[in-house]
Chains A and B, each alone.
Chain A
Amino acid sequence: MPLLIKGRAIIEDRWTLLRDATSLDDVPGEAAVIVPLALWKSEHEALVTRKDVGVWLKPDDDPGVLAADIGSLPLIAIDFPKFVDGRGYSSARLLRDKYRFGGELRAIGDVLRDQLYYLRQCGFDAFAVRADRNFADAIGGLDDFSDNYQSTFARPVPLFRRRKGATGSDTGFSPE
């Protein structure tokens, strides 16, 4: 079974990523699978009743199309064909902040140690680090920084509301 960083642990991944599935014939009946958005849309009726189907998005897929399914989807994955393509960071923020997705949000594709901190801040909690990499090393990337200036998903209250003596933290948000 392939490995996955989930939270801060290295685990065996029970989900099968179906990169090229185009019809229900490509989808095993029993296993937990992650299907392309196009298939999810075309076979919505058949797939939505299953509790073990997640969806993966390409960088230019609009996360908003999943709005109606947000409450029932156990997993959404966002693909990074190249790590320098940063669209997935914004997709993640929208899924978490705007559509209130509470399930597993997974980064797939060209996922490397040096991007993990930023990915986590944007709402990812699972990282399918590229298989040729050392997962134990990669996990260190989650701790590259101890804090950040901005309001992020993982730490919504920006630093300027948390500095010593700062006031105005009246928005109901609390630090991580």
Chain B
Amino acid sequence: MYKYDHIDQRFVDERVAQFRDQTRRFLAGELTEDEFRPLRLQNGLYIQKYAPMLRVAIPYGLLSTKQLRKLAHIGRKYDRGYGHFTTRQNIQYNWPRLEDVPDILAELASVEMHAIQTSGNCVRNITSDHFAGVAGDELVDPRPYAELFRQWSTFHPEFAYLPRKFKIAVSGSPNDRAATLVHDIGVHAVRNADGEVGFRVLVGGGMGRTPIIGHVIREFLPRQEVLNYFDAILRIYNRFGRRDNIYKARIKILVKEMTLPVFAGHVEAEWERLRGGPATVPDEEIERLASFFEPPPYEKLPGDDAGFRSAIADNRAFGNWVKRNVFPHKVPGYAVVTLSLKKTGVPPGDATSDQMDAVADLADAYSFGELRVSHEQNLIFTDVRQKELLALWSELKALGFATPNIGLLTDIICCPGGDFCSLANAKSIPIAEAIQRRFDDLDYLYDIGELDLNISGCMNACGHHHVGNIGVLGVDKNGQEWYQVSIGGDQGEAASLGKVIGPSFAAQEMPDVVSRLIDVYVEKRHEDERFIDTVRRLGLEPFKERVYASAH
């Protein structure tokens, strides 16, 4: 993974000093709340319902075990012994004290981490494919570019006070695992006919109140030009994005109101001027960044480990776990393992400090001392030998991270919701738990098959409910918590937005609502049809009928 040199290190150290002084001035009354708010937000610090919340960046989801141990330590020393992995490859702490935050940032800086721009109206943490570098379907390893973008976005002087937050995701695979179509800028690393790496650039996607799938603004951008092009997009957005209404301030609204051709015209004209200028990225820099992501020293192994195969045959529980939680690796004899943070009864994405330490030990033992965080709020070991999967599985089971449910209904993507977040209209964690309890029969869960269920506690859509096959949105009706249900959303390369099925439901109705949706699917599906395929084929009607016929 990327290693800071003395300059990168100095930047994060200077940031800590800057924020320490800002916090001091705020506490001394020299900065008003209004003046301090944007500064603390750009350091990941929210003031939440019960306490501040600190969001720490895990750039494009990569973590070393040293860093994970530091995150565990921070949870233990400054919080209540746990952290929450988010839907944008960040980790949040729900109970730090404002006075401690400068010290927490200093601890992070000591392991080349930070909370820079994890909130506020600026360019946020760059996210990417959690299988980057190991997936067989990959065209281009996106990590060097993600790091290039991280550096470009960090303390960009021109774009620190944008109309609204700005999220960029990059993928290097035709199977989009980074939700690039619902980002302000989505970048697909591709190769042109000559084999040269460049980018397909999408703009104006997003979730929130007005969900929109991103539009292709440029089919092929030479890689050297990417920062010039980003500067052009951001400059047009910074100048012309709406600032009169925060619900209309994202770039997706600007693109919509200007129309894509007009917006693209502005961007291309600005790019034409910047093209070939000082921000043009030399191939030497791309090579320098790529050198940090060289493959680890893999052993030469047979493609299929015999012991592993027989263990699958002998042990059904292990076989289930392999089927759901293990992804093929491009290197023979290795496998990619997802640790499920979706055990029933535990808030999705939560991990205790003790668990983090234990995971760090396992990653050291089994996966070259590194791991990933996915936007589905799970952890990934990318480089496990097949012959060690059985042993790793046993250890993960003991930790509670071997729930064999990746990609299934109970692998729920869920925001912290009304239990923690002051923006939320409704709680989301108890809804997730009630649904997980309803579907606790593994055979039935497997029969249902692949299904994304996403829950957001409010319109801000941190739980990405718009792209859930089943999406649940918490809404407020006269001070009461209700839940609006949509179906037909999908993430990935064929991303689509879900459609609301009708009036919202009370919390206690939600497991029944999901059950009825599933019943319709199970009855009407064709062979090998996933839930999303059936919804696409049949439309909303049969699902609506069933849910409302008996529920109301």
B-binding residues in A (CB < 8 A): 83-87, 89-91, 93, 98, 112, 114-115, 117-119, 121-122, 144-152, 156-161, 163-164, 166-168, 171, 173
Interface residue? B14 (CB, 8 A): yes
Please state if B285 and A157 are interface contacts (CB–CB under 8 Å).
no
Please state if A151 and B277 are interface contacts (CB–CB under 8 Å).
yes
Please state if A84 and B161 are interface contacts (CB–CB under 8 Å).
yes
Known: A87-B239, A160-B285, A173-B278. A98 touches B35 (CB 8 A): no
Stretch at the interface among B48-56, B101-109, B149-157, B540-548: B149-157
Please state if A93 and B243 are interface contacts (CB–CB under 8 Å).
no
Interface residue? B527 (CB, 8 A): no
Q: Which of A114, A147, A158, A168 contacts B22 (CB 8 A)?
A: A114
Q: How far is the CB of B293 from chain A (nearest CB, A)?
A: 16
Q: How far is the CB of A134 from chain B (nearest CB, A)?
A: 8
A-binding residues in B (CB < 8 A): 5, 7, 10-11, 14-15, 18, 22, 35, 38-39, 121, 148, 151-152, 154-162, 227, 235, 238-239, 243, 273, 276-285, 288
Please state if A148 and B159 are interface contacts (CB–CB under 8 Å).
no
Between-chain CB contacts (< 8 Å), 22 pairs: A83-B35, A84-B38, A86-B121, A86-B158, A89-B160, A89-B238, A118-B157, A121-B158, A144-B14, A144-B18, A145-B15, A147-B7, A147-B10, A149-B155, A157-B278, A160-B151, A160-B282, A160-B288, A161-B285, A163-B288, A168-B283, A168-B284
Inside 8 A of A166's CB, which chain B residues have their CB? 282, 284-285, 288
Please state if A158 and B284 are interface contacts (CB–CB under 8 Å).
no
Inside 8 A of A168's CB, which chain B residues have their CB? 282-285
Q: How far is the CB of A37 from chain B (nearest CB, A)?
A: 16
Interface centre among B235, B280, B282, B288, by most chain A C-beta atoms within 10 angstroms, is B282
A160–B151 CA distance with the chains assembled, in angstroms? 9
Q: How far is the CB of B233 from chain A (nearest CB, A)?
A: 12
A85–B201 CA distance with the chains assembled, in angstroms? 27
Q: Which of A150, A167, A171 contacts B280 (CB 8 A)?
A: A171
Interface centre among B243, B276, B278, B285, by most chain A C-beta atoms within 10 angstroms, is B278
Please state if B35 and A112 are interface contacts (CB–CB under 8 Å).
yes
Inside 8 A of A164's CB, which chain B residues have their CB? 5
Q: How far is the CB of B269 from chain A (nearest CB, A)?
A: 11
Inside 8 A of A161's CB, which chain B residues have their CB? 278, 282, 285
A159–B152 CA distance with the chains assembled, in angstroms? 10
Q: Whose C-beta in chain B lies nearest to the C-beta of A152?
A: B157
Q: Which of B10, B160, B279, B280 contacts A146 (CB 8 A)?
A: B10
A89–B156 CA distance with the chains assembled, in angstroms? 11
Q: Whose C-beta in chain B lies nearest to the C-beta of A141?
A: B18
Q: How far is the CB of B165 from chain A (nearest CB, A)?
A: 13
Please state if B277 and A171 are interface contacts (CB–CB under 8 Å).
yes
Q: Which of A86, A121, A150, A159 contacts B238 (CB 8 A)?
A: A86
Nearest 8 A-B pairs (CB), nearest first? A86-B161, A168-B282, A121-B157, A118-B157, A151-B279, A151-B278, A160-B285, A149-B151
Please state if B235 and A90 are interface contacts (CB–CB under 8 Å).
yes
Inside 8 A of B156's CB, which chain A residues have their CB? 149-150
Q: How far is the CB of A155 from chain B (nearest CB, A)?
A: 10
A160–B158 CA distance with the chains assembled, in angstroms? 18
A57–B340 CA distance with the chains assembled, in angstroms? 54
Inside 8 A of B277's CB, which chain A residues have their CB? 151, 171
Q: Which of B155, B158, B282 contacts A145 (CB 8 A)?
A: B155
Q: Whose C-beta in chain B lies nearest to the C-beta of A156?
A: B278
A83–B36 CA distance with the chains assembled, in angstroms? 11
Please state if A90 and B158 are interface contacts (CB–CB under 8 Å).
yes
Q: Which of B148, B157, B279, B285 contacts A89 (CB 8 A)?
A: B157
Q: How far is the CB of A28 from chain B (nearest CB, A)?
A: 33
Please state if B152 and A150 are interface contacts (CB–CB under 8 Å).
yes
Q: Whose C-beta in chain A lies nearest to the C-beta of B273?
A: A98
Q: Which of B18, B121, B238 contacts A90 (CB 8 A)?
A: B238
Inside 8 A of B278's CB, which chain A residues have their CB? 151, 156-158, 161, 171, 173
Inside 8 A of B227's CB, which chain A residues have their CB? 150-151, 158
Q: How far is the CB of B42 from chain A (nearest CB, A)?
A: 10
Interface centre among A86, A117, A148, A163, by most chain B C-beta atoms within 10 angstroms, is A86
Known: A118-B160, A158-B278. A163 touches B7 (CB 8 A): yes
Q: How far is the CB of B272 from chain A (nearest CB, A)?
A: 12
Q: Whose C-beta in chain B lies nearest to the C-beta of A145?
A: B14
Q: How far is the CB of B237 from chain A (nearest CB, A)?
A: 9
Instruction: Name 13 extra pairs, CB < 8 A, besides A93-B235, A145-B11.
Output: A86-B160, A89-B158, A89-B160, A118-B155, A121-B158, A147-B11, A148-B155, A149-B156, A150-B227, A158-B279, A161-B282, A167-B282, A171-B276
Q: How far is the CB of B24 from chain A (nearest CB, A)?
A: 12
A86–B158 CA distance with the chains assembled, in angstroms? 8
Inside 8 A of B243's CB, which chain A residues have their CB? 85, 87
Q: Whose C-beta in chain A lies nearest to the C-beta of B14?
A: A145
Q: Which of B7, B161, B285 contacts A83 (CB 8 A)?
A: B161
